[in-house]
Chains A and B, each alone.
Chain A
Amino acid sequence: MSNPNGVVYLLDDELGMVKAVTRLLRARGFEVHGFTSPASFLEAYRPESDSCLILDVAMPELDGLHLQRRLTHKGILLPIVFLTGHGDIPMSVRAMKAGAVDFLTKPVKDVDLLRAVRAALARAAEQREAATISARLTRLTPREREVMEHVIAGKLNKQIAFDLGTGEQNIKIHRGRMMHKMGLESVADLVRIAEKLGIGRKED
């Protein structure tokens, strides 16, 4: 992550709007990259940092809702805050269903915009964390995974060994490898992540 606070991309076909919103967010300490065409945004977009996109709904080349779909197809899970000059309810419903963080109408107040941008960046951070965890999960062996589910369920090593029909020493080794592969230090961290990813619920 190049910027710990996250990067805000801004796309509006009108330069005046791009300039104004850029100034507003920069004054609040955000790193902002503004664009007036979808093509220039797509070219400049870098997935390294936690980032979000503020997107104008009505643009002559490609409207915002289309761009949202296109990003999803490309696998770019960028949290989007829509800005529109004149929004109607069906439009906002479509946008939210497709995963938008917020749907704001111009003129937008700074507090509303900042709240939405912070929420979008938080979501970006969560998404990044979730993606990392998912990648780590795939590296677990079936046995480690079994052990993990039992740990999450709050069982002691002895109970787990009994359940799985093996020795406590074995469980200790599996458990240690699992925690290491997942990059975690405490059971509390594991439980928090498990909740987010929905692991272990099926046993409840």
Chain B
Amino acid sequence: MRASDNQSPVMWENGCRATRLPHGKGDRVARGHKMACSLVAIFFVLTAVGAAGSEPKRVLVVHSFGSVAPPFTTHSVAFETELVEKMGERVDLDEVSLDMARYADPNLQEALVEYLQKRQAHWQPDLVVPIGSPAGVFVEQYRDRLFPETPILYTGMDRRRLSPHALERNAAFIGENFDGPGFIEDILQIAPATKNIAIVIGASAVEQYWATAFRKEFEPFTNRINFIWLNDLSLDQMLEKTRALPPDSYIFLILLLRDATGVTHNADEALQRIHAVANAPINGIFQHQLGLGIVGGRLYQAELEGIESARTAVRILHGEPASSFPPRIVGPLSPRYDWRELQRWKIDEKLLPPGSTVLYRTPGLWEQHRALIIGGISICVVETLLIAGLVVNRIRRRHAELSLSESEDRVALAADAAQLGVWEIDAATNKVWVSDKVRNLFQITPGTDVDYAAFQERVHPDDQPLRDSAIKRAIETKGSYEIEYRILLQDGTVRWISGRARCMSDGDGRSTRLLGVSMDVTERKQAEKEAMEQRDELFHLSRVATLGELSGSLAHELNQPLGIILSNAQAAQHMLAGDAPDIPELREILADIVGENLRAGEVITRLRALLKRGETRLLPLALNAVIKDVLHLLRSDLVARGVTAESKLAERLPDVPVDEVQLQQVLLNIIINACDAMAENPPGDRRLRISTSAESGAVCVSIEDQGRGLPNGDSSQIFEPFFTTKSHGLGIGLAICRSIITAHHGRLWAEPNKGRGVTLRIELPVIAPALS
């Protein structure tokens, strides 16, 4: 149901931009004039590192709204990137696009089906991936004629849009399940006084579906909320309405593809137009709308879904049946809000639900200083105050038109000592004054006049919009800002700058100036990066050491399938040498060989993931699945040690953002420790209990052993580096486990059991509540 053709970059929290394919805006315009069902069949052969010589796998992506329609673009780019990376071999990717949002004519669908049938003669896909509900509905409807045998991966759509039978035959689903009441609850959470909610939605087929669905879901609220449905209006009429809503109103934008008068719109542009005139706050559904004028709440993100779909696609292409994947519902992100909108509508941050993130915040003066100290910048407080005092002093003096030179000298001296560059922009004339240190930092030729353009020139192109908008906003709102950005010097070096500025205006408001300081923080950034890399390296080394301990049982995990393959193959060879080979038996043998081969491959994939060096990457995951994976990897080791593992995993646990490999590492370490602790117990008395549970806002894992317990009953000692009770090992395992869990914003601790042994508990915060 996402449909917007907005071309503006999707901003991430950290200000980076999502990568996108180089499609032009003209593409969409041209398409409108072509056939009603425009077809964009682009042929990519994407080559991955280490491309294999074998036939590449063929994937057909079916787009709903053209290939340049965010958040679909975000979804499909993430999908394609992840697919190529994870596949590890060549992928032959073909795309077809139905502009169903605008043209839902059955005759044209028929033409498209015939076209696809003709193409199938030359190009048979191994997997079909419809993205978005119109594509999903189309593929489901024509599947028997087009792809009767091909696995289907439905993604980027709400589960309700497909029939209950869609997933019965060789098909998988990764999508969302929009929580209609949840959107209204999000609004009431931050604006409890709301009496009216104006619903912006268009009148195309897909929009009619959602209008009906949401009308029904909003029913429980109708006794306290007056819903104003704008679906039978033109956009201009909608703008008129939202301009003059009654007090205590809120606007909720579901979708705007085509209004009631038949005019096609870009939902993101429409959002911005409404935002410009509306007299009430606005909410939407998608993460990318944050920053375009919505206040915020639990928003859906397409990128994540794209990545998850690609991972599933890889497994299907590697031979796993699509029907073996249960339908996967990707929930919304944790609540996040646009600070500027909160300010504009005077929404108290105390009303935000716990765990909320506020973006686009422009910090106050106190926060500036606090950040300065916390940021670890080595200027002592006294110096900072001195500079601030001197700057103020300097301003006062300027106003009094006293001699500037003395204070400027002092400012310069202090700023020099602190390695700070000082600058000032006159908003009226656009003139910029910069200190020598700034010239030095930005490599601006001494003695030249500096205007705003020259001042911006050295900023890294990717960061220019960030700084530009921060400066303009500070001047507009007479506020202040604190940002970190990069500058790109002439020789190509990149340096990190921490910049803060504050707007000063005369008492009569005639002249407005922006006063700023800039500081080179490249070393700090570098140190942070190195620390991060060293941490990741340490995690990696400890992981390798853990796996070393397991090498024996891992060999077993591999030798078992290899042994089965060899014996089967040799049995078949012998059977074939006979007079009348038993064909059904041979068929079964080959099926077993394939199955065991996949199993051995999985073991290797798991090991490779664990042995890989990589930076920490947090993605929402089902904890239970990670635990099952680890127990699988440890199966042989547990058998060899005579340990029985019982797991009691809670159903319907919300996903938690984790680095899968690092979490596996933590679980491996803790479980191996628990087994070591029980080594002296008689066989049959070595029981390990693993359980999961949902706590408020967190998910908890408990690993309970029946071992010798904590040394001296002291639970903190075991997490100290180089503490060990074993004859082997360095004693850094648990220390590293704790730092991994801490890096996940979670907790790891040990509790002595009532009887004997210890229970280790891991608590990880939940980002997004699961919807199902």
Q: Which residues of A contact B (CB under 8 A)?
A: 14, 16-17, 19-21, 23-24, 26-28, 58-60, 63, 83-86, 88, 105-110, 113
Contacts and interface: CB of A to CB of B under 8 A. Distances in A.
Given A23-B567, A24-B571, A27-B574, A107 B559 contact: yes
B640 A108 contact: no
A83 B559 CA distance: 11
B714 interface: no
Nearest to A104: B563
A107 B563 contact: yes
Contact of B570 (A17, A105, A110): A110
A17 B571 CA distance: 12
Given A109-B566, A110-B570, A113-B567, 19 more contacts: A16-B595, A17-B560, A21-B567, A23-B567, A23-B585, A24-B574, A27-B571, A27-B575, A28-B574, A58-B636, A58-B639, A58-B640, A83-B563, A85-B556, A85-B557, A88-B552, A105-B559, A107-B566, A110-B574
Contact of B564 (A17, A26, A59, A105): A17
Nearest to A24: B571
Contacts of A105: 559
B596 interface: yes
Interface in B538-592: 552-553, 555-557, 559-568, 570-572, 574-575, 578, 585, 589, 592
Interface in B434-463: none
Contacts of B595: 16
A85 B636 contact: yes
B592 A106 contact: no
B147 to A, nearest CB: 32
Residue with the highest number of chain B CB atoms closer than 10 Å, among A59, A60, A63, A84: A60
Contacts of A24: 567-568, 570-571, 574
Contacts of A108: 563, 566-567
A20 B563 contact: yes
Interface residues of B, number: 31
Interface of B: 552-553, 555-557, 559-568, 570-572, 574-575, 578, 585, 589, 592, 595-596, 636, 639-640, 642, 644
A109 B566 CA distance: 7
B585 A106 contact: no
Residue with the highest number of chain A CB atoms closer than 10 Å, among B561, B562, B564, B568: B564
A70 B537 CA distance: 49
A88 to B, nearest CB: 7
A161 to B, nearest CB: 60
5 contacts: A20-B571, A28-B574, A86-B555, A106-B563, A107-B563
B361 to A, nearest CB: 56
A137 to B, nearest CB: 41
8 smallest beta-carbon distances between A and B, as pairs: A106-B563, A85-B556, A20-B567, A23-B571, A107-B563, A107-B566, A24-B571, A27-B574
A21 B567 CA distance: 6
Contacts of B559: 85-86, 105-107
A86 B556 contact: yes
Contact of B563 (A58, A63, A85): A85
